[in-house]
Structure 1
């Protein structure tokens, strides 16, 4: 009897989106046809209303992380998210219609739209979450590794199993490359009945014997998944595993520098200048306020400047409003920590609302930085990190940014180990840089600023 189909994360998200789309479309239809006191006969207006309303819902859901299936399923979280996000959506539609169209409403259909829509989304998501407790969601894994160089065997297994998040993979069998090479075909076929995916973490595929390669081909023909550890890690964590031994240099550095991407360059140019115009106005507004408050609560220079390493390893000056004590590095260079004792009380306020970051606008205008890219680091730390990992210099292939994939995906970096973890996300960004990924970063940055996450 064939095993039931296992839905991967993208397939589950697609099902979730389709359910949301049906509910939101039905809700907008109730609002348009039943709640409004007048009939809207203009077909074009109706189409624009449905499309813009649906896009607004999905934009709001994305910014507020409503489609994060990697988190464990919790009813309380689903309930609070459903009523907060969908409640914000229906209220915005209602208030916007009142303000711009001075419309009147039928009471009962309006109440159904305002209160039943969040409830329907909650019930759908509750059903969805419990559905995958019945339908198989976990892919059982055979993990193949090289015991000669696998110095942290359990770490890789933990990463396959989720490492604090839902990966939807579970390691059931582990074989060293030596043992799997002599694995009997009958044992392999018996194991294959219990396995959905094979993940290989070895320095070179030349280590695979022709016999085992044939077995893997048989597995593929039976619908099994065969992945390198790097591919698995990149798909699940949206980062590159720099410490993996898996065909390291070529597989990790398949960077797309050979392509001329005019649309991406144009998009970056437009985004940078929109940022300069918008944030420039905010910077001019806050400059006199910070200047005056700095005289009383943060005595010393208004700005601080520091050398950072930029594109192609060239140093440049970065500017910020000073948030630390004047002699913050009297004992030597030290990475900033989230609750750093050197931050002044007024500096904490500046950092809380990201006001200290505003002067970095100057670096964008000078052409040393852009909005999106790896965060620039100081040379002293760059030199240390270059000694630890040979990949660190690759992040200097593009201009550094004020925000980036590492900033929205990983916690505040406080030490060299955190910098290496952030490098995994920077490398993923460099390898997969696209307009779509940049838009995701912009939306996630908005979430980060609004809810004080990350960065």
Structure 2
């Protein structure tokens, strides 16, 4: 019998967030009402403003630093607790600094110290309680993986992805079953009962070839409280990417086009959003260029910029601009992808890449209309042709303009080979399918994290 008490990831995050917000709100209330010396004047509007600034600051800091990314939570409890303490301390200190700069208040030292020290301690204690309680509450779904002959070859890889090779998926395959005309119903029932299956993940090429028994058992499983989802749905939900090797031949299902009216609204909002980001990045580019030009003379002799043809929307090539980070004639042996610890990158170029300064000149392509600020990363034609031979879906990323930053760049490591490019395609397809202002905002926050902590790209 399936265990119906298993909480999904969203439910766990919600419980954790509610507890955190309660404690953060309590600490902010004491900070606003007791730590600040208002000198007996009526500052009601100011108090509300400070409280709201605190709540917004907490959301921004916790999101940028992945405080609620339960899939990537450190395995060690001590490391996890130290991370929470550090992030919340950063929040309390930033709240104190922001309030001081904006309002220039004096403080009651005891109450200020209580806010700065005990707020992080409160959240650490709440996290310890949360972890203790969930030792006794089932958090991992016991999965029956159903496959057919067409998906049999990737059985081991797919099970590894369900179990989570590099991240916590809260799913574990406890049994697998081959769906074909010789499928043994008694064997299937035995697997379900003995392994206490709580979820089915189905990865078959055609969902119309189930026996009457299998269809009936699926209905019974749903009535028992078990989840039944396709492998594509599971992958998209957990990894926020589309599995291009899921053996689904329907490109319409992979790129489900949404309501056109919503698309028009998205286009208008997207234009405003990209225009604002382009303006800010353009100012940064023109401010940084003189310094890069000066340092380039001493530490990176040669041209300041390098240009390259990339494939853009509808497969048309355009010219991309970057600050040169490699030695002159870096590709005299032919086109090759950049790699980690690439010997062709100069010492000054490593600094430019570390802080993503080399990417800033791409804003020129945005201004020319060849790119947008957020979209799939543009690739060179020689690699596009190779990738099109490997996967028939590669050209779909050219349905939209390429971007300076994007979902694939912030979710996956720097692409070093064709296999990495295919994995990045999964994130590009997810972005095209789910493109929205909210997703763009997530990408901006994750881009900030990438720049600050050298993640992702």
TM tier, shorter chain? Answer: over 0.9
1:197 lines up with 2:216 in the alignment = no
Q: What secondary structure does 1:207 align onto? A: coil
CA contact (8 A) 2:242 2:429 kept: yes
The residue aligned with 1:264 is: 266
The residue aligned with 1:17 is: 17
TM-superposed CA distance for 1:83, in Å, is 2.4
Q: Where in structure 2 are the equivalents of 1:275-424 lying within 5 Å?
A: 275-424=277-426
CA contact (8 A) 2:377 2:405 kept: yes
The residue aligned with 1:37 is: 37
Q: What secondary structure does 1:334 align onto? A: coil
1:94 and 1:77 map into 2 onto residues whose CA distance is 26
Higher relative contact order, structure no. (Cα contacts within 8 Å, ≥ 6 residues apart): 2
1:115 lines up with 2:117 in the alignment = yes
Task: Identify the range of structure 1 (61-70 vs 127-136) with the bigger mean alpha-carbon deviation.
Answer: 127-136
Deviations 1:284-342 (A, max 9, x none): 22222222222232222211111000001111000011111111111110011121111
The residue aligned with 2:99 is: 97
1:442 and 1:184 map into 2 onto residues whose CA distance is 52
CA contact (8 A) 2:2 2:225 kept: no
Deviations 1:329-372 (A, max 9, x none): 11110011121111111211211221111111100000000110
Q: TM-score, normalised by structure 1?
A: 0.95
The residue aligned with 2:184 is: 182
C-alpha change, 1:104 and 1:302, in structure 2 (3 Å) is closer
Q: How many residues align structurally?
A: 455
Deviations 1:249-299 (A, max 9, x none): 343232438455233222322232222322222222222222222223222
Q: What secondary structure does 2:327 align onto? A: coil
Residue segments in structure 2 that go unaligned for 5+ positions in a row: none
1:143 and 1:40 map into 2 onto residues whose CA distance is 66
Residue segments in structure 1 that go unaligned for 5+ positions in a row: none
Q: What secondary structure does 1:70 align onto? A: helix
C-alpha change, 1:42 and 1:106, in structure 2 (3 Å) is closer
TM-superposed CA distance for 1:202, in Å, is 0.4
Q: TM-score, normalised by structure 2?
A: 0.94
User: Cα RMSD over matched residues?
Assistant: 2.1
Deviations 1:188-212 (A, max 9, x none): 6962881110111100011211221
1:61 lines up with 2:59 in the alignment = no
The residue aligned with 1:85 is: 87
